[in-house]
Amino acid sequence: MSHAIIIGAGVIGCATAYELAKSGWQVTVVDKAPEAGYGSTSHSSAVIRVNYSVYESCALAYEGWHYWSKWADYVALPSERPLAVYHETGNLVIKAETNGYLENVMAMMEQIGCPYRQVAPAGIAAYLPGADLQAYAPAKRSEDDGFCEPTGPEIAGAVHFTIAGYVNDPKLAAQNLQWAAEAHGARFRFRSKVAALEIREGRAAGVRLEDGSLIDADVVVNVGGPWSAGLNRMAGVDQGMTIQTRANRQEVAYIPGPVNMDFAKEGLVVADGDTEIYLRPDPVGICIGSTDPTCDARIFVDDPDAVDTRFTDEWTTIVMRAAQRLPELRIPGQASGVVALYDVSDDWLPIYDKSDLPGFYMACGTSGNQFKNAPVAGKIMARIIADCEAGHDHDADPIRFRLDHIDREISLGTYSRKRKINADSSFSVMG
């Protein structure tokens, strides 16, 4: 039986472990954290949506929704195990010049067969009561001249996707996948930091941990999230990549919702291309994040272990931008939410691929937009590993991957480490 070591027990690492274990691999997952889903996964907004800027990612997300909507069936755990819950709320995306008024997105929905409907400006109130329909683009920071002042006529409308929502507990989702993988024989070693990659006869052969112990394996899979770039350098494979990854610091606010609606119960996922924020319901009221406009500082962190987790004026900026669209939003005097890291690629699309070192694979550069695709990403990694270990040259002949639920096929070359920067990308968390 072949043995795979997966570095990283986030939601994609655990999904990869589950898929490999189901297909007959002996799997060991190592993570320096105390439990699965402890790092970036636990800080994810866990939004499930289908709208991306490139066809392949739209197709992945629509395929992924089929797993989240039947999560209990996918993980197949005993009834006494607690499960993460997917809440389907729908997704309202505000049209703007920044997202091309969603013309390309709607065309891709037609290609993948995913339902949507256009919403005129007057119809937005049915989803967001009391919404301010004025345009505020381009997005500004709170200290900029003209912040919160309209810049033109009303917004151009929106697109509503019924297939969208959020997962209530992203850490629990990763733990569900851990338990599912363990049911198929996978082992998890927590509080275990990788100190070195073991290389023998020109291929990855295992890992050495900080405590000095050695774990031998046939393949090693880097799913290290914000630490993935360091692991790629450790393996010496970064020089063979045209797409690199970096850890990017982000702030997300969790505050009470607008006074004119119970957003926690009645709200929906919103992506506002005009004010450049996203929203989703949360038990405290509302979760607010930035969609990374050019005015926002993009803070890249060389040492993920040394990230400053204190809130800054970034928090104030995104909350006040949200209040432009929702005038009844309550803005507390005390910042609350999370400060976390994205594992960002050069074009904000993921890398699901082999490497130049035989036996070393990577699922990284997920850029804050791949939680929703985790079940499919696990299947993709299992397929890439199986085919490449059987001798297939994925670089020369990219694998075609079948998305069974939506009856579509995509090229996994889209997620190659050697691809050109994808000019169709939003270059943001929107993917």
Instruction: Report residue 121: phi and psi, to 5°.
Output: -50, -45
Question: Which pLDDT does position 297 carry in this prediction?
Answer: 79
Residues 6+ apart with CB under 8 A from 384: 352, 353, 354, 361, 394, 399, 412
**Which superfamily is assigned to 3-84+168-244+347-415 in CATH?**
FAD/NAD(P)-binding domain (3.50.50.60)
CB neighbours of residue 142 within 10 Å: 15
Structure-token pair, residue 186: 């996978």
Residues of the chain with pLDDT under 50: none
CA angle 205, 365, 417 (to 5 degrees): 65
Instruction: List pLDDT tens digits, range 112-137.
Output: 999 999 999 999 999 999 999 999 99
Token readout for 286 is: 């509302």
How does pLDDT run across 270-314, given as a tens digit for each residue?
999 999 999 999 999 999 999 999 888 789 999 999 999 999 999
Kind and range of the H or E run holding 134: strand 134-135
Nearest to 85 by CA among 99, 100, 70, 107: 70
Quick one: pLDDT at residue 142? 83
CA atoms within 13 A on the CB side of 314: 23
Q: What is the pTM of this model?
A: 0.97
Handedness of CA 259, 263, 268, 270 (dihedral sign): positive
- pLDDT, residue 231, reads 98
108 contacts 265 by C-beta, under 8 angstroms: no
Q: How far apart are CA 246 and CA 231, in angstroms?
A: 12
Q: Where in the chain is the domain with CATH 3.50.50.60?
A: 3-84+168-244+347-415
Q: What are phi and psi of 370, to 5 degrees?
A: -115, 0
Predicted local distance difference test score (pLDDT) of residue 298: 87
**CA-based nearest residue to 173, from 57, 44, 261, 266:** 44
Alpha helices for 10-124 (secondary structure H):
11-22, 55-68, 71-75, 103-112
pLDDT at 137 (0 to 100): 95
Longest Cα–Cα distance of the chain, Å, equals 66
Query: CA-to-CA distance for 367 and 427, rounded, in angstroms?
Result: 9
Residue type, 321: R
- Can you tell me the distance from the alpha carbon of 146 to that of 143, in angstroms, rounded to the nearest whole number? 9
Q: Please count the other Cβ atoms lying within 10 Å of the Cβ belonging to residue 271.
A: 27
Q: What's the confidence (pLDDT) of residue 148?
A: 87
Provide the token pair at 327.
């005038």
CATH 3.30.9.10 domain position(s) in the chain: 91-162+245-345
- Residue 151 contacts by C-beta under 8 Å, 6 or more apart in sequence? 135, 136, 137, 138
Of the options 3.40.50.12780, 3.40.630.10, 3.30.9.10, 3.30.1490.150, the CATH number for the domain spanning 91-162+245-345: 3.30.9.10
- Tell me what pLDDT residue 239 has: 96
Residue 430 · residue 271 · CB < 8 Å? yes
